[in-house]
Each structure stands twice: as structure tokens, then as C-alpha cells.
Amino acid sequence: MEESTVSFKQLAAGSKQFARRLLTIGENRLELLTVELQEGREHVLRACLLALGIATFGLLAGLTLTAAIVVMLWSWSPVLVLLLLTLLYGAAGFWLYRRLTGLLREWQTLSATLGQIRKDRECLEKLLV
């Protein structure tokens, strides 16, 4: 009768230890997830502010350049100059759009967290099989 009591106690102790380890792993992964989310948020905010500054000063430079070109070539053909500049700006906008869609396609969210969760799953599968 004592053997079954001892083995039950050992089983209960092993189960408690397994549960503690599982909870610790889960806690570590949640901490990693929150750190990655915070870093991602800061990265996106910094990128948006830089993009806004680039867009603002790029627009000012483009307007100034456009005005200078139009004034310089006004006597030649004002409509043709404006059409050529419109075509040039449209091509640049299309090129930037293509770059943005490529960047969004390659974006990987929370890659380190997902990698750790995959490693944990593989380790647990080895232990349980």
C-alpha cells in the first residue's frame, strides 16, 4: 500500500514541477512579446515621423523646383512643361508605391516570439513522446 502512496506523491510532485516550468516558459514568452511589441511601436513611430519630415521637405523642394522650371521654360511651352513634370511626378509616385507594397509583403511581425514558441513546442513534443 505504501508503494502506491509514494508513487502518487512522486507523480504529484513531478506534475507540479512540470506545471511550474510550463508557467515560467509562458511568462517568459509573454515578456518577450511585450518587449517586441514596444520596440515595434517605437520603430513604427520613429519611421512615421521621419517619413513625415521627408515628405514635407521633399514637397517643398519639389514645389520650388517645379516653379523654377516652369518660370525658366515659360516662353517655350508652358503646357508641355507642366505635362512633362506631371508625368515625372506620377512615375516617381508609382515607383514609391511599388516599393511600399514590396516592403509590406516582406514584413514579419513578432518573428522572435514566434520562433521561441516553435522551439518550445518542439521541446515539449520531444518530452511528451
Q: Each residue of 77-125: pLDDT tens digit?
A: 888 888 888 899 899 989 988 998 888 888 777 777 778 778 887 887 7
Residues 121, 26 contacting (CB under 8 angstroms): no
Query: Mind listing the pLDDT tens digit for each residue in 2-49?
Result: 555 668 778 777 888 888 888 888 888 888 888 888 888 898 999 899
pTM listed for this prediction: 0.48
**Residues 110/33, Cβ–Cβ less than 8 Å:** yes
Query: Rounded to whole angstroms, how far apart are CA atoms 90 and 25?
Result: 52
Find where cell 515625372 sits: 88
Give CA–CA dist 116/122, Å, rounded: 10
